[in-house]
Amino acid sequence: MAKDKDYKDAELQDPTITSPRTAEEPGPKPEKGEDSCCPPQHNGAGKNEEERSSFIPTIVSLILLLFGIGLDFFDVEWFQGYLRLIVFGVAYVLVGGKVVQHAVTNIAKGNIFNEFFLMTIATLGAFYIGEYAEGVAVMLFYVIGEHFQEAAVARSRRSIKALIDNRPEEVTLIKNGQVSIVNPKNVNIGEIIQIKPGEKVALDGEMLSESSSFNTAALTGESKPDTKKKGETVLAGMINLDKLVELKVTSGYEDSALSKILKLVEEAGGRKAKTQKFITRFAKIYTPIVVFFAIGLALLPYFFVDAYIFEDWLYRALVFLVISCPCALVISIPLGYFGGIGAASRNGLLFKGSNFLDLITKVDTVVMDKTGTLTEGVFKVQEVKVQSLEKDRFLALTAALESKSTHPIASAVVEHSGNAFKQLKVQNVEEIAGHGLKGTVDGKELLVGNAKLLRKFNISYAPEIEEIVETIVVVAMDGKYEGYITIADQIKEDAALAIKQLREYGIDNIVMLSGDKDSIVQKVARQLKIDKAYGGLLPQDKVAKVEELKKQGKKVAFVGDGINDAPVITLADVGMAMGALGSDAAIETADVVIQTDQPGKIGTAIKIGKKTRQIVWQNIGLAFGVKALVLIFGAFGVASLWEAVFADVGVAFLAILNAVRLQRIKF
């Protein structure tokens, strides 16, 4: 997608953040040459055992630290010299060994100024001046902070996966009359599977049974059951609520709707927001500055202070280094965006990257397609007006002739009329291209079509027909005008509310684009109170309209559902697609997928984006504020290493809690 390069060229990566203690390779790998205290997590067998075992060194280190502090406090005579160094040294290695290893490895690669380097020189410096307990405490509390961070990330991931990754591992296959239980990965397209009541659907398929109700919450976020009838599509992840049904598989396991959604969420955290990129770049400049300030703090007072004691000023420099560690920023910001993606998933919205959570907060213009986005995309009868016949008889005769056509308008008439037409005899059906149908129904000659059809046969009709903007079916019987049926696409239930919400969220320019005829488009626009509407547009015309808005400096979000919307979705600053009924092309090119097909979710997406951004900037302000304060205290000798480490870990912990809060907010 050709959009803002800063947003679009982000390299995909695993969004998980984890401690350097368990990283397979030292240091982070978000982008080439990039620093972070949060290397990517590696997955594999025995992951849970590894997570549990990673707590053991921390616990042993804590016990040794408390043991050593206790002996120091009671001034035990034998706890001196090498024995004291060994006790605190073992405690240090248990929690700090990996960090020191990463620092050394990164130095060898030319990547010196990073968090590992800061932690290493600060703690080894503490050991150099004999402050063993404080050196161990710095590493220990840093590692405890990492444990909190890992738990927060794991919780975020579990909440997302619990919502959507519920793919069954078994499926009932019917082959050659035999029923067998197989892995869904081994089922081929076109084969028949059976879904029992209460069972989750493993693969996308076409309903072969007459009907059944399904819980679609995993895909749409809505708990309201959806009734699927014969011939309709049932998607993987839905839960059969009603009766035993059979499906003909239409997609392979990896190509199912649920698999695609899960893949989108897994990839989403890897697309970085500008705020994340800024903090990464900032840390790369900030870290060496802090190191040189610390060196200056330790050495320069020699020239200005009369009673200069190197150990005292070195201690202040070490405090300065510990509190300057940017861990809270590097942890909490991506975690905040990951929480936003999770909150969106819970609300039936899939953001394909944290960058789009940022972008959507800048949108000032929302452009929407009409059919399938603001309207149901299904023709329904709106009004039936009859001249002399009874209404039911008129509908039955019309539907009988329309039943011989596959046109969507004809289908709408047939569906509205009921079953009475099935008893009528239809003969001599002739389709007149661009006009309608001619035939004999129950011995009466019928003409069913548009006004041009009646004019062709020189039949006069009511003048009001020419003023009707909706699609109209005009009917003549035995050479005489008999009435008409209007058909229109029904406006979605929450469309008006969606427009109202957008205005409340500060969107002052709402536009509707449609390929439908302009008179219908303008009527819908008036009903929904949309600012501007344009009808009769081809795909290239929609592109031109959006390009025009962007040239005016507008930040545009476009919402559509059809194949013809894909080019405009790609062009918009934020492209949004209706995911339940939308075309694959629209969904693939979109930046945000609305799984519920509800236009009201556009406002929800903006609200989630704004809340995520608010929490991220709260964390940034908290981290910078506390660090600046303690840095000043440390430089003047007021704060010790204990205050420094508690402030750093405390800020990180508060930032993590604030980020996790997104998961609990109701939007």
| Nearest one of 573, 386, 460, 476 to 6, comparing CA atoms | 573
Rounded to 5°, angle at Cα 118 from 121 and 278? 165
Query: Hey, is 530 helix, strand or coil?
Result: coil
In sequence order, which residues have a C-beta less than 8 Å from that of residue 573 and are 6 or more positions away? Answer: 3, 4, 359, 362, 363, 550, 555, 556, 557
| Nearest one of 142, 175, 356, 335 to 264, comparing CA atoms | 356
Beta pairing class for 233-234 and 574-578: unpaired
DSSP state of 211: E
Q: Are 195 and 240 in contact (CB under 8 A)?
A: yes
Q: Are 265 and 338 in contact (CB under 8 A)?
A: no
Q: Are 284 and 329 in contact (CB under 8 A)?
A: no
The alpha carbon of residue 555 and the mean position of all alpha carbons in its chain are separated, in whole angstroms, by 20
Q: Is the dihedral of CA 628, 634, 637, 638 positive or negative?
A: positive
Is 369 assigned a catalytic role? yes
Provide DSSP, 580-597: TTS-HHHHHH-SEEETT-
Provide DSSP, 446-480: EEEE-HHHHHHTT----GGGGG--SEEEEEEETTE
| Nearest one of 597, 580, 570 to 260, comparing CA atoms | 580
The helix (H) or strand (E) run that includes residue 556 is strand 556-560
Cα–Cα distances in Å, from 30 out to 35, 262, 269, 512?
8, 21, 11, 40
Q: Is the dihedral of CA 246, 250, 256, 258 positive or negative?
A: negative
Residue type, 452: K
Structure-block tokens of residue 60: 């042993």
In sequence order, which residues have a C-beta less than 8 Å from that of residue 457 and are 6 or more positions away? Answer: 447, 476, 479
The helix (H) or strand (E) run that includes residue 301 is none
The helix (H) or strand (E) run that includes residue 540 is helix 539-551
In sequence order, which residues have a C-beta less than 8 Å from that of residue 232 and are 6 or more positions away? Answer: 206, 207
Q: Are 406 and 430 in contact (CB under 8 A)?
A: no
Query: Hey, is 201 helix, strand or coil?
Result: coil
Catalytic residue among 35, 369, 516, 565: 369
Residue 514 and residue 469: Cα distance in Å, rounded?
Answer: 15
Beta-carbon count within 10 A of 255 CB: 14
Active site residues: 369
